[in-house]
Structure 1
């Protein structure tokens, strides 16, 4: 598991000698341990940093317990720096050497799979889950009073049993009390677990009722629904929630890409392409950054005013300063956007963004 504090530590670290960043898929349903080790050795053959290669191989061969589905490793042995993070999510194999840890895959994982709350609800109670980085944790649920179903056409006032409408009123009153209790418990759970996005499972009727009773501030965080029974097993809930998270994330990112392109076309608060996006980041104007996960391009930064360019220029047209080469300007864009408290969305595949420079942004102003 990785935290925001861990990500900040990676953001702040740099080394003139270079940092080896390794992402390795160890999902036992996709690759056997020995096969993963072979894949790692093949990847490491391209790296000319023997101390870091040895540190990574030693960790995988002697310390890694192979219980996770993916692992990220960052090594700079000359700087006495070595960090590892395990995940319950498959990772694509990737290896890179740079002056800073390569964090884009981590940013994508954290944006996609952190801060989720899952609620299974019916008329009597609810099951509450937090869902972070592939780990589904069930909290103590909430259970209200039993809801007694009335028979259609039942009721006989002649013998003092009361009418069917009286029985229905009692049932409705019980459901209302239960929903109120469920809502109170759910809100407390959301706050305690820093939930940013909510999925609701259950019948159509129960989901609608739960959403209707939620305060508007929490209603705005509901991003998905799915049919499921209250007695569903852990694996069924995990599978449904995982798929829904991916579906929701894809739709949200697609909408944001279209919004950024439309705003850019109107000359409003949007930019597309690396050079315009880099300079909007430098000015602190980026609200949401959108970038493809495999996009890489060198750039140049003025050591005087910070102006950025994708073309090599001898002197800065604004301050006559000199330009320094940046090996991966796209990774730098991701870092600087995070430092400026922008939302960063890393997309695995998006044809629309691919056609518009592979990077875009929605601006604050």
Structure 2
């Protein structure tokens, strides 16, 4: 689940959009299987061909052949995720595909710009969460993003049971058991932190029985304790879907982050300091690399979202999408920016 790969791809796509060339963008929903994808591509291609010039058709057909190769490769590899995206700019010798963590709205388009905002929205709304699932003897470490979970490590330790017939006194036995659990928890923390650092994880969720979850959280370094967004009661042998179990906590963390950003935006706007509101002002600030965080309402016209997102991704600010119906944001035109610096 290479979030960094997707981030880099979005920036590469934004740079492609700075040129006036024919570019293919495809977002494919695999909920209906490979046959559904193939039928969508064929149906959409038939509609597009009459709208293209002869030169554009040549580019289009070649791009479609690269898309078909990409789909064949994923099918042969047994890909079973919710969606795929693919982009081709033959003038730049550029073809790239990426696995998606959520099913996209199906799209196949030819334009002089890549269509970026669905990818940018996925990066914002479905940020990967590191999950540590623990019981009295086993740990499972995974990363969850959208509808996709990826197991990255699991291990078990031989830990003595709570009771023992004969042998040591109960107190001596319990001390040994406590030491075994301490060693086990420290090992779980060490492995989890290493994995989460390698994967750029900023949000962590703990799952298991209350007592073990507390011991795990207490052993986390302070930096990682601050990243814990929630805890859920869980049995490692449960047949329930951990993705569905944690979804409310992940959604709540996303909404909390949005509230914090909006609070900061309007606080700066009231002071007349490091913030701007309105599409035109925000676009001008993006063009001079003044924006630290771009905040967009999903109620904006898709062409406006695409334009602002493309400019933002080419110069590096974070992009945050706010659900429709946020009246304060809509009142300033649906677009706001927290700035890196102020121009007098």
- Give the corresponding residue for 1:316: none
Q: Deviations over 1:321-352 (max 9, x none)?
A: xxxxxxx5643432343344322123453534
- Give the corresponding residue for 1:100: 113
Q: Indicate which of 87, 100, 125 corresponds to 1:87.
A: 100
Q: Indicate which of 317, 320, 327 corresponds to 1:342.
A: 317
- The alpha-carbon deviation at position 215 of structure 1 amounts to 0.6
1:142-291 alignment, distance < 5 Å:
142-150=155-163, 162=169, 165-232=171-238, 236-241=241-246, 244-291=249-296
Q: Indicate which of 28, 34, 39 corresponds to 2:32.
A: 28
| 2:82–2:147 contact (8 Å) kept in structure 1 | no
- Give the corresponding residue for 2:131: 118
- The alpha-carbon deviation at position 16 of structure 1 amounts to 1.8
* Structure 2 residues not aligned, in runs of 5+: none
Alignment partners' CA distance in 1, 2:288 and 2:66: 41
CA change 1:205–1:262 in 2 (3 A) is farther
Alignment partners' CA distance in 1, 2:87 and 2:105: 16
| 1:277–1:360 contact (8 Å) kept in structure 2 | yes
What SS does structure 1 have at the residue aligned with 2:105? coil
Q: Deviations over 1:273-322 (max 9, x none)?
A: 2123223334434222121346348xxxxxxxxxxxxxxxxxxxxxxxxx
Q: Deviations over 1:98-120 (max 9, x none)?
A: 43312111112233445432110
Q: Deviations over 1:14-36 (max 9, x none)?
A: 43244343323232279944653
- Give the corresponding residue for 2:334: 358
- Give the corresponding residue for 2:85: 72
Say whether 1:12 aligns with 2:25: no
Larger Rg: 1
CA change 1:349–1:211 in 2 (3 A) is farther
Alignment partners' CA distance in 2, 1:51 and 1:223: 50
Higher helix share: 2
CA change 1:252–1:222 in 2 (3 A) is same
Q: Indicate which of 124, 129, 136 corresponds to 2:149.
A: 136
Alignment partners' CA distance in 2, 1:174 and 1:77: 59
Alignment partners' CA distance in 2, 1:47 and 1:72: 23
| 1:21–1:74 contact (8 Å) kept in structure 2 | yes
* Structure 1 residues not aligned, in runs of 5+: 298-327
Alignment partners' CA distance in 2, 1:209 and 1:46: 64
CA change 1:31–1:236 in 2 (3 A) is farther
CA change 1:178–1:248 in 2 (3 A) is same
| 1:24–1:40 contact (8 Å) kept in structure 2 | no
1:29-44 alignment, distance < 5 Å:
32-33=36-37, 36-37=40-41, 40-41=44-45, 44=48
| 1:116–1:197 contact (8 Å) kept in structure 2 | yes
Aligned-residue CA RMSD (Å): 3.6
CA change 1:22–1:117 in 2 (3 A) is same
- Give the corresponding residue for 1:331: 306
What SS does structure 2 have at the residue aligned with 1:248? helix
Alignment partners' CA distance in 2, 1:150 and 1:222: 33
Number of matched pairs: 327
